[in-house]
Amino acid sequence: TPRVFSGIKPSGGLTLGNYLGAIKRFVGMQGQMQTIYCVVDLHAITVWQDPKALADMTREVAAGYLAAGLDPTQSILFNQSQVAAHAELAWIFNCVARVGWMNRMTQFKDKAGANAEKASLGLYAYPSLMAADILLYHATHVPVGEDQKQHVELTRDIAAKFNHDFKTDFFPMTEPVIEGPAMRIMNLRDGTKKMSKSGESDMERINMTDDADKIAKKLKKAKTDPEPLPETLDGLKDRPEARNLVEIYAALNETTAEAVIAEYAGAGWGRFKPALADLAVAKLAPIADEMGRLMADPAEIDRILGEGAQKAREIAQPVLAEAYDIVGLLRS
């Protein structure tokens, strides 16, 4: 049976990138197949997180899921650390994956920066934990943004090596699902960098909880070149900031970049940016309101995550037990 698994790290407030690249698509897959969506708190702690803020951010990501339309009766929603099998299978995968594979991960290079020696071992091993997240549920589909594609491919390598080393076909080959117009939303101040929760300046990103004034201000100040919008899509080549704003518009409006260009051909930023701000507010404000309402009752969010964790454990435990048997880890 087709089964979807994906997750978001509670490493900061949710961004428009998380919404368009992940949550909106999670909602689209709900009801079509079994869907399991995780708040991956164990991934968040690969860089320092303030403990109190981590708990709050975990609830915020859960609130974002719920407010955007994920329904705990249709999807399994939980936070990773409540299902110990993730960490346990990740250890086995740490022993299957090769150091050379990890050395090729571009996200580690980006995040560790020049000082890789000082990065946590967890940040380096992150893809093993992600492979465990996916393979514990024998997930067949993993909707992710473009930036995570390499990690899903590594998950296939880990599954293949495990199967080969232990002469089994236990772990399936997983497909990353990367499609649609908004797989890589870029930073508003630098169109060559992706929009991130933990980027330096709040002006680089639109947060899912930003109010109308903030959204309008951030888009007004968003970096662009002085040229108006081109007549054809081709004219966006080598204009990363312009292309990003067009792609954001298209994704929010559920249309294509071509259609947006057709509508705004020749328009200046003075016309396009306010139109984009109006659209973003129309789409995000109802979600932000609902997130606010949900976060006012943290106990209810905790209850939903706890119930989801229970359901997740029922799937994950037998898979972990079989993996232990295959490896020869004795349980009595």
Tell whether residue 184 is a contact of ligand AQP (CB under 6 A). Answer: yes
For β-strands 34-39 and 175-177, DSSP reports them as unpaired
Place of tokens 């947006």: 260
- Quick one: 179 or 332, whose CB is closer to ligand AQP? 179
Give catalytic status of residue 197 as yes or no: yes
Tell whether residue 183 is a contact of ligand AQP (CB under 6 A). Answer: yes
Rg of the Cα trace of the chain?
21
User: What is the phi/psi pair of residue 77, to 5°?
Assistant: -120, 125
**Whole-number Å distance between alpha carbons of 138 and 171:** 7
Reduced to 3 DSSP states, what percent helix, strand and coil does the chain have, rounded to the nearest 5?
60, 10, 30
> Left (φ > 0), alpha (ψ -120 to 50) or beta: where does 31 sit?
left
Among the residue ranges 50-58, 193-201, 253-261, 287-295, the one whose residues contact ligand AQP (CB under 6 A) = 193-201
Tell whether residue 156 is a contact of ligand AQP (CB under 6 A). Answer: no
- Quick one: 14 or 323, whose CB is closer to ligand AQP? 14
Contact between residue 276 and residue 245 where contact means Cβ atoms under 8 Å apart: yes
Minimal CB distance to ligand AQP: which residue?
21
Tell whether residue 190 is a contact of ligand AQP (CB under 6 A). Answer: no
- Quick one: 195 or 323, whose CB is closer to ligand AQP? 195
- Minimal distance in Å, beta carbon 15 to ligand AQP? 6
Tell whether residue 11 is a contact of ligand AQP (CB under 6 A). Answer: yes
Contact between residue 11 and residue 49 where contact means Cβ atoms under 8 Å apart: yes
Please give the residues from 22 up to 61 whose contact with ligand AQP meets the rule CB under 6 A. Answer: 22, 40
Among the residue ranges 65-73, 82-90, 178-186, 303-311, the one whose residues contact ligand AQP (CB under 6 A) = 178-186
Contact between residue 3 and residue 137 where contact means Cβ atoms under 8 Å apart: yes
Footprint on this chain of ligand AQP (rule: CB under 6 A): 8-9, 11-12, 15, 17-18, 21-22, 40, 144-145, 147-148, 183-185, 194-198
List, by residue number, the catalytic residues. 111, 194, 197
